[in-house]
Amino acid sequence: MAGLVELTFNSQLYSAEAIQKAAYRSMHAFTLDLQVDGGSMLCKLIGNITTEQEAFDRAVEEFRKDVLDYQLRAQLQAETAPIRNLIMGLAFSNARLN
């Protein structure tokens, strides 16, 4: 059985949604216990009974990368939403741009 790792993320920098999405990708290797404590998100990663230690360690490393990836994706989506909405509006409008 793999081990247990506790990670802390600053809740001003990372959303619970980004952490949950990253954990969903790694649920083959561990389960997540997520708690919010003031300005911190406490993540307890508990290895699955069938996960070997080496695989668990790799999954934890990927989890950390995925949290950042999902957070940056959310930020980019929010920052580009007005432009994306404008493009979609123009694409589906009946107006001609002559």
Q: What are the residue boundaries of the structural domains of the chain, listed by start?
A: 4-92
* pLDDT of res. 36: 95
pTM of the complete model: 0.83
pLDDT above 60 (res 97): no
Backbone phi, then psi, for 78, in 5-degree steps? -65, -40
* pLDDT of res. 2: 72
* pLDDT of res. 92: 86
CATH topology classification for 4-92: Alpha-Beta Plaits (3.30.70)
Q: 3-state DSSP helix/strand/coil percent for the chain, to nearest 5?
A: 50, 25, 25
Question: Within the chain, how many helices (H) and strands (E) appear?
Answer: 2, 3
Cβ(3)–Cβ(58) below 8 Å: no
* pLDDT of res. 32: 97
Higher-pLDDT residue of 97, 80: 80
CA-to-CA dists, residue 17 to 51, 65, 80, angstroms:
25, 15, 19
Q: What is the pLDDT of residues 32-86, one digit of tens each?
A: 999 999 999 999 999 999 999 999 999 999 999 999 999 999 999 999 999 999 9
